[in-house]
Chain A
Amino acid sequence: MMRTGEAKRNDANAPSRNIRKDYPFEFTGETGEYFRIWIVNILLTIVTLGIYSAWAKVRNHRYFYGNTVLDGSAFEYTADPIKILRGRIIAVAVLIAYQSAGLVSTSASIIAFALLMVIMPAMIVLALRFRMRYTSWRNIPFSFIPNFKMAYLLFGLPMLLGLAMIATTVSFESDMMDMGFDPDTGAYEQSLQSNNEPSDEGTEDTDTSTESDEENQGMTPEQAAALEEMGMQFLWVFGGLMLLFWVFYPLWLRFYYKFVADHTRYGRTQLRFLATVAEFYSIYVIAALLLVAAIAVLALLIGAFNTLGIGDENLAGMTGGVIGVLAFLLVQSYIQTQRANIVYSNIELEDIGFRSELKVSTMAWLYISNTVAIIVSLGLMIPWAKIRVARYRASTMTLYANNFDEFQARAAAEVDAEGAEISDFMDFDLGL
């Protein structure tokens, strides 16, 4: 994947290619050292009932940024904990307001959800702005130029699709109610009387397997047919919308990264994003094929278990579950690895390029072994896991340039922390 990006740049900047030199990133953090920072962060956060969490976040970020070194100069995280604390207080207030809207009534919670959706793109922009503003290298900060119009266009379209899905579901449910399904008695009104006699056909023990012929007994045949038709219609519309989402997702993703890169600056210099739409589609097409292959293997194995009659149900279920989880993790690692490689390898800063060469197998191994280690150690190995991932990511990242001494700084405005915090709190992945 990164080859393509490099090739593109080769064409554009053929003369300067010869003098460009590789500069590897390195991560200098150590598990023991980070463990102490991590545990003290947790202790102080609990002791201060969460107030210290803002300082904890800054120390955490400063550790990871400060140990990410390029050509002897470290990255620096410069955010002010007070701003992060203020943002967190606002985020908690918003969250409480949102939760209490749910207590008041369904319509209040729908309105609260809609409001949250309406402000979300702006929050994402503010979060990006905050994060870039407080990241610097060689005393030159990055920055993100807010473009709310673009953000609303970018996030508005998938939101409309999500809204259509919700609307389809809600209207299907209300259609069912209209057909005379009474939630208080669980009965279809017209047929309630005709079905009063006790039905003793099913014996007690085999009762579990007779659902298919009991399915429609509460309804007249006309109602059953109408319901079935409605159900099919719903599935078609909902499935269609779902398909629409997945078909356009890689395209959307490419525009999202382009949006972020196009509005990000290092000093005065704007980032460029060269990845093509095809590169993003290739990730998801291959991931889908991997998933199909995994399901096929799983089905074969379960079939083998059943025909051979090996072990009991539990064993087969457990094996299937483990294989399923592993397959899922593998596909997940594939997507994340390839996405990171494509995104980073296609970023350009004037004549500076990057190369990200993460391996799917290594990333999958890291994820799986980290998960096991964290569970077995009851969480105490979280620092070890994080350091490992950071070290591997840095070791596979290279910058190539002939000179990076001449980037100019720009006069930057202060950014409020609210955006960063609301998104952080709700755990959105804004990773570039």
Chain B
Amino acid sequence: MTLWTLILDSDLGPDRHRQITGYLYDGQTSGRSRITLVVDDQGKVSCAQADFADIEFIDVGVSSRVGNSARYLTLGQGRRFETLDNEVVDQLCDRWHTANHGLADRLERNMKLVVVAILVISVGSVSFVRYGIPALSKPIAAMIPESFDQHLGQQTLDSMDGVFFQISKVDDARQQTLRQRFQELLPAEASGEQQFRLLFRSARGMPNALALPDGTVILTDELVKLADNDEQLISILLHEIAHVKQRHSIQMLVRQTGLSVLILLITGDVSTASSTVLLLPAWIAQASYSQGLETAADTYALEYMNTHGMDTNAFADIMEKLGAVGESAVEHDKQESSILDYLSSHPATQQRIKRFRTEK
């Protein structure tokens, strides 16, 4: 039904009286009486069962329509009249009330608008999540002071040291060599706050490398053992340096915040049962953000290695070894891409390896 036909419908004939039936509550007690209100063509309200002296419909407060639920007419002296005759009340309001309170209701009845709303919301939110949030996260992350990176990095390291990491058993000479190489990889324009450093930790059997926002890069003993040579570790360090340099942790924080705000906007008052359900799309979106950042870090490593004449196969080799171990927590694991890739924090290993083998 369009707005236009609604207006036509409500065009009352001059001699037609309108009747509304419902319950009258006096506001003093919970008692009620069933009455019929008659509104004549002058807009005067009368009632056979109760005494209404000189009430004009213009002065009657009418609650806005919500679907076909009961409406309330405020009749003065605390009296309220509850009725289900929504169509007649609408017609009376159209004729006698100048202010338009039924806008939301008209939108809700407009089938075209409902269809448009579904499309706008689904396409809009998906593209906002897919393109809007990632595009916005960089400039917003730039506004967060770098002291926060320091704070966050230190905190993460503290808690991981407290519960997970063990002392490294990589010998000093190897550590020194790798630290030396690491220093040489660092971008010349590294800003003052970012103090890059390389740490070694034993990680209960998990070959892994991670970068903390404050510039701390950690290699686990297991990964050092897994690598055939330093070149493979260097390629991984480049990937981790990219995470720090491009402030991926902060960008991820910003993106997660954006996602929560969007979910809050869409759901509003969604009850607890359905809000747990929203974890799934949120999870998919976060995984896709994470994959995007991993790919960006791969790109950085790939370009660096190509411009510095290094063999990009080193990264592919170590990724293959990691894939074979299959147990690693962060640097992922699967050989083939599948639907589950949407839920994974890292792109399919096979695709990453292929890039480093072919893009030269």
The stretch that binds A, out of B134-142, B197-205, B300-308, B311-319, is B197-205
**Set of chain A residues within 8 Å of B125, measured between Cβ atoms:** 46
Whether, in the assembled complex, B113 has its beta carbon less than 8 Å from a beta carbon of chain A, the answer is yes
Closest to B155 in A: A106
Q: Are B273 and A370 in contact (CB under 8 A)?
A: yes
Whether, in the assembled complex, A305 has its beta carbon less than 8 Å from a beta carbon of chain B, the answer is no
Closest to B200 in A: A186
State which of A37, A39, A207 has its C-beta within 8 Å of the C-beta of B222: A207
**Set of chain A residues within 8 Å of B121, measured between Cβ atoms:** 39, 42-43, 46
Q: Are B268 and A53 in contact (CB under 8 A)?
A: yes
* Interface residues in B236-273 (C-beta closer than 8 Å to A): 264-266, 268-273
Whether, in the assembled complex, B95 has its beta carbon less than 8 Å from a beta carbon of chain A, the answer is no
Given A105-B151, A139-B80: A267 touches B268 (CB 8 Å cut-off) = no
State which of A33, A40, A375 has its C-beta within 8 Å of the C-beta of B277: A375
Q: Are A195 and B169 in contact (CB under 8 A)?
A: yes
CA distance A273 to B57 in the complex (A): 44
The stretch that binds B, out of A67-75, A112-120, A251-259, A338-346, is A67-75
CB distance from A409 to the nearest CB of B (A): 6
Q: Are A45 and B225 in contact (CB under 8 A)?
A: no
**Set of chain B residues within 8 Å of A44, measured between Cβ atoms:** 104, 107
Q: Are A29 and B205 in contact (CB under 8 A)?
A: no
**Set of chain B residues within 8 Å of A218, measured between Cβ atoms:** 166-167
Q: Are A267 and B167 in contact (CB under 8 A)?
A: no
Which of A40, A63, A371 is the most central at the interface, judged by chain B CB atoms within 10 Å of its CB? Answer: A40
**Set of chain A residues within 8 Å of B118, measured between Cβ atoms:** 39, 380
Closest to A74 in B: B70
Whether, in the assembled complex, A55 has its beta carbon less than 8 Å from a beta carbon of chain B, the answer is yes
**Set of chain A residues within 8 Å of B168, measured between Cβ atoms:** 186-187
CA distance A29 to B67 in the complex (A): 8
* Interface residues in A368-394 (C-beta closer than 8 Å to B): 370-371, 374-375, 378-380, 382, 385-386, 389
The stretch that binds A, out of B28-36, B47-55, B291-299, B344-352, is B28-36
Closest to B80 in A: A139
Q: Are A406 and B31 in contact (CB under 8 A)?
A: yes
Fill in one digit per residue for A18-61: 1 if any B CB lies within 8 Å of its CB, else 0: 00000000001110011111011111111001100101110111
**Set of chain B residues within 8 Å of A405, measured between Cβ atoms:** 29-32
Which of B69, B148, B170, B275 is the most central at the interface, judged by chain A CB atoms within 10 Å of its CB? Answer: B69
Closest to A385 in B: B274
Tell me the number of A-to-B contacts counted with CB atoms below 8 Å.
215
Whether, in the assembled complex, A229 has its beta carbon less than 8 Å from a beta carbon of chain B, the answer is no
**Set of chain B residues within 8 Å of A176, measured between Cβ atoms:** 162
Whether, in the assembled complex, B187 has its beta carbon less than 8 Å from a beta carbon of chain A, the answer is no
Q: Are B117 and A217 in contact (CB under 8 A)?
A: no
CB distance from B107 to the nearest CB of A (A): 5
CB distance from B44 to the nearest CB of A (A): 23
Q: Are A37 and B70 in contact (CB under 8 A)?
A: no
Q: Are A73 and B23 in contact (CB under 8 A)?
A: yes
Q: Are B69 and A28 in contact (CB under 8 A)?
A: yes
**Set of chain B residues within 8 Å of A312, measured between Cβ atoms:** none
Whether, in the assembled complex, B82 has its beta carbon less than 8 Å from a beta carbon of chain A, the answer is yes
CB distance from A88 to the nearest CB of B (A): 10
CB distance from A219 to the nearest CB of B (A): 8
Q: Are A138 and B25 in contact (CB under 8 A)?
A: yes
Closest to A41 in B: B268
Which of A41, A66, A72, A427 is the most central at the interface, judged by chain B CB atoms within 10 Å of its CB? Answer: A66
Whether, in the assembled complex, A215 has its beta carbon less than 8 Å from a beta carbon of chain B, the answer is yes
CA distance A196 to B26 in the complex (A): 88
Q: Are B27 and A45 in contact (CB under 8 A)?
A: no
Closest to B69 in A: A66
CB distance from A426 to the nearest CB of B (A): 11
Q: Are A137 and B69 in contact (CB under 8 A)?
A: no
CA distance A74 to B81 in the complex (A): 12
Whether, in the assembled complex, B157 has its beta carbon less than 8 Å from a beta carbon of chain A, the answer is yes
Whether, in the assembled complex, A400 has its beta carbon less than 8 Å from a beta carbon of chain B, the answer is no
**Set of chain A residues within 8 Å of B171, measured between Cβ atoms:** 196-198
CA distance A125 to B34 in the complex (A): 37
CB distance from B319 to the nearest CB of A (A): 16
CB distance from A135 to the nearest CB of B (A): 14
State which of B29, B174, B199, B206 has its C-beta within 8 Å of the C-beta of A408: B29
State which of B158, B225, B270 has its C-beta within 8 Å of the C-beta of A382: B270
State which of B32, B63, B206, B273 has its C-beta within 8 Å of the C-beta of A138: B32
State which of A103, A173, A370, A409 has its C-beta within 8 Å of the C-beta of B27: A409
Given A55-B104, A207-B222, A429-B272: A50 touches B265 (CB 8 Å cut-off) = yes
**Set of chain A residues within 8 Å of B161, measured between Cβ atoms:** 181, 183, 186
CA distance A37 to B121 in the complex (A): 14
Whether, in the assembled complex, B193 has its beta carbon less than 8 Å from a beta carbon of chain A, the answer is no
CA distance A139 to B81 in the complex (A): 9
Closest to B202 in A: A214
CB distance from A391 to the nearest CB of B (A): 14
State which of A40, A192, A407 has its C-beta within 8 Å of the C-beta of B107: A40
**Set of chain B residues within 8 Å of A41, measured between Cβ atoms:** 268
CA distance A103 to B257 in the complex (A): 14
Q: Are A186 and B273 in contact (CB under 8 A)?
A: no
CA distance A302 to B112 in the complex (A): 52
Which of A28, A176, A183 is the most central at the interface, judged by chain B CB atoms within 10 Å of its CB? Answer: A183
Fill in one digit per residue for B64-79: 1 if any A CB lies within 8 Å of its CB, else 0: 0011111010000011
CA distance A197 to B327 in the complex (A): 26
CA distance A128 to B79 in the complex (A): 26
Whether, in the assembled complex, A307 has its beta carbon less than 8 Å from a beta carbon of chain B, the answer is no
Q: Are B29 and A186 in contact (CB under 8 A)?
A: no
CA distance A409 to B26 in the complex (A): 10
Closest to B157 in A: A183
**Set of chain B residues within 8 Å of A204, measured between Cβ atoms:** 225-226
CA distance A267 to B27 in the complex (A): 10
* Interface residues in A192-213 (C-beta closer than 8 Å to B): 192, 195-199, 202, 204-205, 207-211
The 8 closest A-B pairs by CB, nearest first: A66-B69, A139-B25, A218-B167, A208-B205, A407-B30, A405-B31, A43-B117, A36-B108
Can you list 17 A-B contacts (CB < 8 A)? A33-B68, A35-B114, A37-B66, A62-B69, A66-B70, A138-B30, A140-B27, A186-B166, A202-B225, A207-B205, A209-B205, A214-B204, A215-B166, A389-B271, A389-B273, A408-B28, A408-B29
Other A-B contacts than A44-B107, A63-B69, A208-B327, 12 sampled, CB-CB below 8 A, are A28-B68, A43-B120, A49-B265, A103-B144, A140-B30, A173-B162, A198-B169, A198-B171, A199-B169, A214-B204, A371-B277, A405-B32
